[in-house]
Amino acid sequence: MAAYKRVLLKLSGEALMGDDAFGINRKTIERMVSEIKEISDMGVEIAIVIGGGNIFRGMTGGAAGMDRATADYMGMMATIMNALALQDAMKQAGMDARVQSALRIDQVVEPYIRPRALRQLEEGKIVIFAAGTGNPFFTTDTAAALRGVEIGAEVVLKATKVDGVYTADPKKDPTATRYSTVSFDEAISKDLKVMDATAFALCRDQNMPIRVFSIVKEGALKRIIEGSDEGTLVQCKPI
Ligand code: UDP
């Protein structure tokens, strides 16, 4: 039995890079897709918000000194590229994935239409939300919180390279321990960096739990869906 019926999975651009310096690593994306397929086969409805850092990083030199809004629109376009790559990898794995973009680019992908996204989810299709919120000065974490709330997801699953939220940076402090659950208030007071402030505030206000987990750790996604203690659950009241 799956612990969740509908989830919003936030994949940062970094998650697609593997160990490469930027771009999309084929093996990494294929492995990720097979893990997503596993939970889709369990009957979980999955919407994905994809980041763009992996593509954007390759051109930060060029973006430095640019007008912020212009650079942000470029960043949003980078997320559309990732969304197409992810959709393609999913199709090759025999999954039915749709991309909906917050920026109109009609020849390439559908625009974001909430009722259509809900319908596609009900039909068991994977819906990939591209172009973040469609507005500069926001992040794809905020898009994940926003879309998660909009589609009535039970949880935002934030994929990172670390398997949860730690008391301190585990790379610098070997005594750091992982939180199994933590409240929004504690995360704020201890400055545990879970998401950016806008995304975090939206989740807290809407009582949307966030589970931070490692996308590099094999099987972690499935274990979350099975209800195991994986990563860190950030919510209004810790259990
Ligand atoms: N972005 C934006 N508005 C949004 C979402 C993203 O302007 O609603 C831009 C922003 O420049 C951001 C880039 O797109 O840096 C890529 O998104 P993000 O940094 O969140 O991707 P990730 O770090 O998760 O790969």
Q: Which residue has the least CA distance to atom 14 on ligand 1?
A: 75
Probe residue for ligand 1, chosen from 76, 161, 193 as the CB with the greatest number of ligand atoms within 8 Å: 76
**pLDDT at residue 19 in the model:** 87
Distance of CA 131 to the CA centre of its chain: 13
Does 199 score more than 70 pLDDT? Answer: yes
Q: How confident is the model at residue 62 (pLDDT cuts 50, 70, 90)?
A: low
pTM for this prediction: 0.95
Q: Where are the domains of the chain?
A: 6-235
Whether 198 contacts 146, CB under 8 Å: no
- Pick from 140, 147, 161 the residue to mutate for probing ligand 1's pocket: most ligand atoms within 8 Å of its CB: 140
**Predicted confidence (pLDDT) at residue 60 exceeds the cutoff of 80:** no
132 CB within 6 A, ligand 1: yes
**Using one digit for the tens of pLDDT, what is the confidence trace for 130-187?**
999 999 999 999 999 999 999 999 999 999 988 999 998 888 999 999 999 999 999 9
CATH of domain 6-235: 3.40.1160.10
pLDDT, residue 22, reads 86
Q: What is the pLDDT of residue 212?
A: 97
Q: Which atom of ligand 1 is nearest to 50's Cα? A: 24
- 138 C-alpha to ligand 1 centroid (Å): 7
> In sequence order, which ranges of 93-196 are alpha helices (DSSP H)?
114-122, 140-150, 184-189
Per-residue pLDDT reduced to its tens digit, 74-103: 999 999 999 999 999 999 999 999 999 999
Q: What is the SS3 assignment for 214?
A: strand
Structure confidence at residue 61 (pLDDT): 62
Residues of the chain with pLDDT > 90: what percent? 80
